[in-house]
């Protein structure tokens, strides 16, 4: 039986018609499973190159079908992560703003319309199934864990009008024990507080990383006013009191430095979250007798909290997938439907999430050769030995192998790798490659069989493949591993299993044989403006526009040539489908009018880049067929205009506000 799980809105990337994106969905994804096993799964952002996209799942669905060599008519069920009645309510609310939606103001009509519009396909009777938001979160973690019986905690901002659920699952039967509404949303509380730190939605993990630099005691009482612990594992929040933080600080301006007060606020927020979650878990562990716990939902990606739960001894085992957020609900919806329809389906611990785009060894050479103007390309005879030597010599490597990882974390197939013993890597990678805050920590990848040699691991488990837990580095190793050891002596580790990822295991093993430390620094292969790279071209673009020393794809080692902006003349330039070019006639003073030019995202007005008239003209002319050089000739640019255009295009390319690719005809 084939089940396709979906998460995402109804709008295409270039329009905003239905408005579901803001009301119901984010982190669009699709996952295809057959008889309970994943065939393919990918987040839409990896394919359309827009972080956290909440648009329709068209590219992800096409990918899943292509990987399985199936058509939509072959799919038995299409599982959508949303409560049908609540989604109907959302559609009716949208119809008040846009009466033209009357024809699709019903969930079945909407999805029939979307599938017909995008695939020329009419859904079969009973093919479409809706699964409650928090049920899909619960199913994601439960079916990934392989636990027959477990306590399930789902925590996020909001989904289907609920924010927290505690569920007792026994032999695939889900019984809700506690549900909390939006008013008591821990995710929304976290978001409201972090705005004082200059952060917003999707930045929660940055504040978690900042919290070890602070002292939670300073503002403990201030944060105690934000919640009340109630009997029987219940709690209530007082989110209206967040505004009282103005008595402590004014909101930090973007790009302003962090002060100690910001760090102390982050620490107090983290402690408040953990206090509430432990209050819930202690009661329901005792009430149910469960010895196993699974956690999902966006707040479930707080790996510092997860590590403390694991080390507390409250449960014998704890499982959290790397995609605890909403993208994982595509898997959860599909798995839930599959096991409900086929109750006898077996399930076991899922060892990995390498479900995405494959890199085939026989296609790498030609794909890289298309970029030969910019690259030195060499095929290696012994990949692991050569690359480990480069890292020992201080190089930072972009590493692309096999199928990409599903979810928001790079787990060794689309990673930036480096020697964890080099303290300066932390600053170098943050500043020159990731282009992000300097305090942000990096994760270690370690051979699964060596994890207890370097980390304080509770219980009997040795497998932590999803980078979901922060554990302490053993004291005797902390000074020797400065690039992956956080300020409090901890690290968000990933264990690597030889059977699940033999190429990554072999590389770490080679590094370990030479250094005595079978650990690599691992962070996601992307810059701050884009999702994790997916294709070979994505990797090359990130490599060319960052400070990475080498790129490794399959058996190929790649170095940059000493290229200049004018070398981009042969590249084809086009606008991303989400980009909008603006030419605005406006007053530029009390008495003078003039034109201004800008490039903006059509559904994120905060992402706006001012353009010169030269930059505007070349992007307006860009048709995805002509090269930059051809466009400049056609527009009759002077030498000075060309120099200006090269500089502007380089910056836009680095910020992923335009697409540049080699001419396939050359």
In three-state secondary structure terms, 159 is strand
So what's the architecture of 145-319 in CATH?
Answer: 2-Layer Sandwich (3.30)
Quick check: 333 and 6 in contact, CB under 8 A? Answer: yes
What is the reported pLDDT for 23?
Answer: 46
Give strand ranges (E) for 438-592.
443-447, 469-472, 490-496, 519-524, 550-553, 556-560, 572-574, 579-587
CA distances (Å), origin 552, targets 190, 365, 388, 533: 38, 12, 11, 13
CATH superfamily of 2-82+84-131: ATPase, nucleotide binding domain (3.30.420.40)
What pLDDT shows up at residue 105? 79
Indicate if the alpha-carbon torsion angle 630, 636, 639, 642 is positive or negative: negative
- What is the reported pTM? 0.96
- Whether residue 313 contacts residue 345, with contact meaning beta carbons closer than 8 Å, is answered with no
- For 336, what's the count of Cα atoms within 13 Å in the CB-facing half-sphere? 30
Rounded CA-CA distance 424/443 in Å is 15
Domain residue ranges of the chain, discontinuous segments joined by +: 2-82+84-131, 145-319, 361-560, 566-661
Q: What is the pLDDT of residue 438?
A: 79
pLDDT at 11: 87
Mean pLDDT per 10-residue section of the chain, whose length is 666 residues = 95 78 72 97 96 93 98 98 90 84 87 96 97 95 97 93 96 96 96 95 91 97 98 98 97 92 98 98 98 96 97 98 96 98 94 97 97 97 98 98 97 98 92 81 96 96 96 98 97 97 98 98 95 98 96 98 91 93 91 93 81 96 95 96 94 93 81
Check for a shared fold between 2-82+84-131 and 145-319.
Answer: yes
**Third-level CATH fold of 566-661:** Outer Surface Protein A; domain 3 (3.90.930)
- Kindly write down the DSSP assignment for every residue of 302-319, as one continuous string: -HHHHHHHHHHTSSSEEE
Nearest of 173, 423, 205 to residue 301 by alpha carbon = 205
CB burial readout 35-67, b (16+ within 10 A) else e? ebebbbbbbbbbbbbbbbbbbbbbbbbebbbeb
Contact 264, 271 (CB under 8 A): no
Tokens of residue 574, six digits: 């086009």
Integer Rg of the chain from CA = 25
* 372-374-380 Cα angle (round to 5): 60
pLDDT at 470: 97
Alpha carbons 473 and 53: distance in angstroms, whole number = 35
> DSSP states of 465-500 as a string?
TT--EEEEBPHHHHTT-TTT--TTSEEEEEEE-TTT
Fold of 361-560: DHBP synthase (3.90.870)
Nearest-angstrom CA–CA distance, 442 and 396:
13
């Amino acid at each position: 039986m084939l089940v396709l799980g979906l998460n995402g809105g109804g709008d295409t990337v270039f329009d905003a018609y239905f408005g579901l994106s803001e009301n119901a969905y984010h982190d669009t994804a699709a996952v295809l499973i057959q008889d309970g096993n994943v065939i393919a799964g990918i987040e839409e952002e990896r394919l359309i190159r827009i972080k956290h996209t909440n648009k329709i799942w068209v590219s992800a669905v096409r990918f899943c079908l292509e990987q399985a060599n199936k058509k939509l008519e072959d799919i038995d069920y299409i599982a959508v992560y949303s409560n049908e009645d609540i989604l109907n309510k959302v559609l009716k609310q949208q119809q008040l703003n846009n009466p033209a939606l009357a024809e699709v103001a019903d969930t079945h009509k909407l999805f029939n319309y979307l599938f017909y519009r995008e695939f020329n396909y009419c859904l079969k009777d009973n093919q479409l199934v809706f699964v409650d938001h928090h049920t899909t979160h619960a199913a994601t973690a439960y079916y990934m864990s392989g636990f027959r019986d477990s306590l399930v905690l789902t925590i996020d901002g909001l989904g289907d009008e609920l924010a927290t659920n505690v569920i007792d699952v026994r032999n695939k039967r889900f019984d809700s024990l506690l549900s909390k509404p939006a008013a008591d949303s821990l995710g929304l509380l976290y978001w409201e507080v972090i705005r004082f730190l200059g952060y917003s939605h999707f930045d929660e993990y940055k504040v978690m990383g900042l919290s070890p630099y602070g002292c939670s005691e300073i503002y403990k009482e201030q944060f105690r006013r934000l919640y009340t612990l109630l009997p029987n594992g219940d709690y209530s929040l007082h989110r209206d009191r967040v505004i009282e933080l103005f008595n402590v600080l004014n909101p930090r301006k973007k790009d302003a430095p962090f002060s100690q007060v910001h760090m102390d606020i982050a620490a107090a927020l983290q402690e408040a979250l953990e206090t509430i979650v432990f209050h819930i878990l202690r009661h329901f562990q005792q009430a149910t007798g469960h010895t196993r716990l699974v956690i999902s939902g966006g707040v479930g990606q707080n790996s510092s909290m997860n590590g403390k739960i694991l080390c507390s001894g409250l449960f014998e085992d704890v499982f959290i997938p790397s995609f605890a957020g909403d993208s994982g609900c595509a898997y959860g919806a599909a798995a839930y439907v599959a096991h409900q329809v086929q109750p006898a389906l077996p399930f076991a611990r899922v060892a990995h999430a390498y479900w995405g785009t494959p890199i085939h060894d026989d296609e790498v050479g030609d794909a890289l050769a298309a970029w030969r103007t910019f690259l030195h390309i060499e095929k290696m005879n012994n990949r692991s030995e050569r690359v480990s030597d480069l890292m020992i010599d201080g190089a930072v490597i972009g590493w692309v192998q096999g199928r990409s990882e599903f979810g928001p974390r790079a787990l060794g197939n689309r990673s930036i790798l480096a020697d964890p013993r080099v303290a300066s890597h932390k600053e170098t990678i943050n500043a020159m490659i990731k282009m992000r805050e300097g305090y942000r920590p990096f994760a270690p990848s370690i051979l699964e069989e060596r994890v207890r040699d370097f980390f304080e691991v509770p219980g009997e488990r040795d497998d932590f493949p999803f980078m979901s837990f922060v554990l302490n580095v053993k004291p005797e190793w902390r000074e020797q591993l400065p690039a992956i050891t956080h300020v409090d002596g901890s690290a968000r580790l990933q264990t690597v299993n030889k059977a699940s990822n033999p190429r990554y295991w072999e590389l770490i093993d080679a590094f370990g044989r030479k250094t005595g430390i079978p650990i690599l620094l691992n962070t996601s292969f992307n810059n701050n403006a884009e999702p994790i790279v997916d294709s070979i071209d994505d990797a090359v673009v990130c490599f060319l526009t960052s400070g990475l020393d080498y790129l490794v794809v399959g058996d190929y080692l790649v170095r940059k040539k000493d290229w200049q902006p004018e070398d981009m003349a042969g590249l084809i330039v086009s606008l991303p489908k989400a980009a909008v070019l603006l030419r605005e006639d406006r007053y530029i003073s009390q008495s003078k009018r003039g034109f201004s030019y800008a490039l903006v995202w059509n559904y994120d007005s905060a992402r706006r880049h001012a353009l010169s008239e030269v930059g505007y003209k070349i992007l307006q002319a860009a048709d995805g067929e002509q090269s930059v050089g051809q466009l400049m000739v056609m527009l009759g640019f002077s030498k000075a205009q060309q120099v200006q255009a090269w500089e502007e295009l380089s910056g836009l390319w680095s910020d992923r506000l335009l697409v540049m690719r080699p001419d396939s005809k050359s």
